[in-house]
Amino acid sequence: MRPTTPILSIALTICLMILSGCEQSGAAPPEKNTTPPGSTPMVRVRVFGPDGKLTGPVDVPKLVLTDAQWQARLTPAQYTILRNKGTEPAFCGALLHNADKGVYVCAACALPLFETGSKFESGTGWPSFFKPIAEENVLQHADNSYGMERTETLCARCESHLGHVFDDGPRPTGLRFCMNSESLRFVPQDKLATLAEVIPATQPAATQPSANVKDKAHDSAEIVLAGGCFWCVEGVFEQLDGVTEAISGYAGGSKETANYEAVCTGTTGHAEAVKIIYDPRKISYEQLLKVHFATHDPTTLNRQGNDEGTQYCSAIFYASEEERQIAQAFIADLNDAKIYGKPIVTRLEPLKAFYPAEKYHQDYVCRNPNQPYIQGIALPKVEKVRHLFKDMVKPEPVVKP
C-alpha cells in the first residue's frame, strides 16, 4: 500500500490482493475480550457533541465486544477488515472517489476519523487522507506482517483496523493515511447532527465541555488575507458558505497609521487586508487559500490591475506556525505546477495586529453595487467565485451583479 513507482504500485497491489482480498483467508484470529467484568475502560477522543460540533478531548467508554457480537454488528466484509485486519482489493472501495463534503467515521463505532478537506487522490487504489480529523481518534501501531515494515492505523475507540499510514503524502503533513472503504462510513455535511453523542458528565475539569465557552478551535477561526483593494477581497469571501463575517482593514503596519488616508500613501507598511471569520466545520483554511489565489493575481508585486502601491500587495498574514507551513506548502505546490506561468510573489507575514477600516469601507460591494469601480472590478470577481466554486458558495449571492 506504499507505491514508489508505477511498476511497484502494480506489483504491490497484486501482492496484497493475493494475500488479503475482500475476504482474506488465513487472517489472524479475532481479538479476545479480556476486559475484567464490571470495569469500563475509557479512551480520550474527540466526538460530535449535542450542538453538532466537534468537542475538545473527552473521556468516553471504549467499545469492547465479544467476537460473536462483532460478527453480528458488522457485515462479513467489514468483519474481515475491521476485526481480522484484512485489506480490500485496490480500486474497488465504494468511497475511493467520493468527493462530497462531510465526515468519514469508523464503520464499527462511528468515531469521527477524517473529513473531506483532507482527502486526496493518491493513485494507490484506496481512499487517502493527509491528516485525521483529530490526532486522538486514530491510533498508530507497528505492523511487520507479510515481511513488510508498516504503520497500522486503528480506531481509538474500538481498536478496529482502518489501514496504514505512510510518509509519502502531500504537503503540509507529508502523510498518506491509506484507508479501507469498508472500515469507514461517510456522513454528508448536512447530516453531521446525527453523529451527536451525549458526553459523560464525569469529565476532568480541563476537558469538560462547557455550554458557556466555545471551542474556538472548532467553532470559529480567522484568516487575514490581502489581494489588492479590500472592497474586492471582502466581496469575494462574503459569498462563501461557512464565512460568517469579512472585515476590511489594515495589516502590516502600526496602529498610528492604520487609517485610509495614511495607507493610501503607500509608505505605512500596511496592506489593505480582510479578516475572514469562518466555521472550519464548513470550510477549511486550505479552501480559503484556494479561493484567494483564484480571485486575484499573486504574481504582480504591489499591484492588482490599475491599483498600484505597497498597500495593494498580495499577502497572507499567518497567526500560527501551522498556518505558515500550510500557506508556504500551498504556494510551493502552485509554483511547482506552474499554474500562473510566473513566480508567485505573495508575502507570508506573521499577523501582529489587524485594524478594522473605517465604517464606510465595510460591506462596500453590497452597499454600492452600482459604483463604477465595483461594477468594473469587484463584481466580476464575485461572479468568478460563484462560477468556479459552486459547491462552496451560499445559495443566494450576497450582492446581485
Phi/psi at 248 (5° precision): -75, 140
User: Active-site residues: which are they?
Assistant: 178, 229
